[in-house]
């Protein structure tokens, strides 16, 4: 949907203070923060694809600043773990909003919050449990019954839901492009240059598809693709998820999609369907998961179309203009790996499906850690538990695929 991008070409330089592997939200935030802290330090960002074409530009464009997992604190209570994450994400969101504002990044930034909605009795129970957490955390919300939701969303499919202000909508590909194009002058970006191997110790030798570089320190920010470099193979799994976007809808059809220009719905089950009415008159549907490889385009289109039709049977057309898939890295316990893997090698891996804000926040903090800076946010991040062990293949595949099928069956009407 954006104009074609001219990728940044590889540099003739071979020696850098820091090399960042991965040009998504985590990697760009880390590179920016290092450049801010040490303006004389030369930083190289290596991105295997074109900026905005990878997972960072393929998500649904929700920037959610509430925790997804509060059971990562060991002996710390879930409430305290949640409060730590909320502090971190609030600071990260303020920083990201400042970058968007100061650099004039046209990413359709819209802080209108989000809905959570349930179509089944089990889904309603899940939402009530979430609201109990909101009350503990001091988060405001507004509840809606079926009739009120129909007015807001234009569908009677959901029986209950709530709205909270804890979300900003963006055009994700425009955001990640803008962040890359506004990096400080001491950061260089090389696109379409995949890393194929890493040295074991500093100074690190980094071999790519085009050449070789040396750096005093490395930042690993390529999420699930770190496994291809032999990193955290026993902690990370890669999941594909899918979305589709309609053409611009006529005003008569948009009138059937509720009373707001833009809104989004998070499902009451993790394998349910996410919806988003997008600025400019399009509609987005996101659903379905597959393990380690993409499912067929025909299956994807059929699933997404069926989810759309169930919720809005009164629309004249359920045609999509764009259909795509993207990857996310999950861990068994929902925790992100954050810290120093070995001397000079820093990593933030396993975003667990919340990469825009978590990646930005953790990337900024990782940059501080790599340069020896201290902050309360960094202390909070380091206090959280890391990912737990995963069994080897083929047991891992059997377990994950079985879990996806089980959760999909449990999702029922939420799919």
Task: In whole angstroms, give the CA distance from residue 110 to residue 346.
Answer: 33
15-103+172-235+332-384 CATH: 3.50.50.60
Contacts of 175 (CB under 8 A, 6+ apart): 100, 105, 107, 356
pLDDT at 73: 55
3-state DSSP call for residue 157?
A: coil
State the pLDDT at residue 368: 98
Q: What pLDDT score does 12 carry?
A: 87
Distances (CA, A) of 94 to 77, 111, 169, 255, 331: 26, 12, 14, 34, 27
Taking 70 as the pLDDT cut, the residues of the chain under it are 71-75
Domain edges within the chain: 15-103+172-235+332-384, 114-165+239-331+401-414
Q: What is the CATH number of domain 114-165+239-331+401-414?
A: 3.30.9.10
Residue 68 has a pLDDT of 79
Which pLDDT score, from 0 to 100, does residue 99 have? 98
* Total length of the chain: 415
Consecutive H or E run containing 310: helix 297-311
Please tell me the distance from the alpha carbon of residue 41 to that of residue 164, in angstroms, as a whole number: 41
Predicted confidence at residue 84, as pLDDT, reads 95
pLDDT at position 71 is 65
| pLDDT, tens digit, 9 for 90 and up, residues 155-196 | 999 999 999 999 999 999 999 999 999 999 999 999 999 999
CA distances from 395 to 234, 239, 292, 329 (A): 12, 16, 14, 18
Q: What is the pLDDT of residue 9?
A: 81
Give pLDDT, residue 70. Answer: 73
pTM for this entry: 0.96
């Amino acid at each position: 949907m954006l104009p074609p991008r001219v990728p940044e070409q590889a540099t003739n330089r071979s020696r850098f203070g820091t090399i960042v592997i991965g040009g998504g939200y985590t990697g760009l935030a880390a590179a920016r923060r290092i450049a801010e802290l040490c303006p004389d330090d030369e930083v190289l960002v290596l991105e295997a694809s074109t900026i905005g074409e990878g997972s960072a530009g393929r998500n649904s464009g929700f920037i959610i600043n509430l925790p997804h997992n509060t059971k990562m604190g060991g002996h710390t209570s879930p409430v305290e773990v949640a409060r730590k994450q909320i502090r971190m994400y609030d600071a990260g969101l303020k920083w990201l909003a400042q970058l968007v504002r100061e650099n004039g990044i046209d990413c359709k930034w819209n802080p209108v919050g989000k809905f959570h909605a349930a179509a089944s009795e089990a889904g309603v129970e899940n939402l009530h449990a979430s609201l109990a957490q909101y009350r503990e955390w001091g988060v405001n919300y507004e509840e809606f019954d079926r009739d009120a939701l129909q007015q807001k969303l234009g569908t009677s499919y959901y029986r209950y839901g709530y709205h909270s202000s804890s979300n900003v909508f963006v055009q994700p590909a425009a955001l990640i492009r803008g962040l890359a194009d506004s990096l400080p002058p001491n950061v260089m970006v090389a696109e379409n240059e995949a890393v194929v191997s890493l040295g074991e110790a500093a100074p690190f030798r980094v071999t790519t598809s085009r050449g070789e570089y040396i750096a005093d320190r490395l930042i690993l920010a390529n999420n699930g693709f770190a496994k291809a470099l032999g990193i955290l193979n026993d902690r990370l799994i890669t999941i594909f998820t899918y979305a589709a976007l309609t053409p611009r809808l006529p005003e008569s059809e948009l009138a059937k999609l509720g009373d707001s220009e833009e809104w989004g719905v998070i499902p009451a089950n993790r394998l349910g369907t996410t919806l988003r009415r997008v600025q400019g008159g399009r509609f987005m549907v996101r659903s379905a998961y597959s393990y380690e490889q993409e499912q067929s385009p025909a299956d994807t289109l059929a699933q997404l179309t069926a989810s759309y039709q169930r919720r809005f049977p009164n629309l004249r057309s359920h045609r999509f203009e764009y259909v795509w898939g993207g990857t996310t890295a999950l861990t068994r316990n929902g925790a992100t790996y954050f810290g120093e893997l070995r001397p000079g090698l820093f990593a933030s891996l396993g975003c667990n499906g919340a990469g825009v804000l978590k990646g930005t926040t953790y990337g900024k903090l990782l940059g501080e850690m790599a340069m020896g800076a201290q902050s309360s946010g960094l202390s909070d991040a380091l206090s959280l538990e890391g990912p737990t062990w995963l069994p080897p293949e083929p047991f891992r595949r059997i377990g994950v695929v079985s879990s996806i099928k089980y959760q999909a069956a449990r999702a029922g009407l939420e799919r």
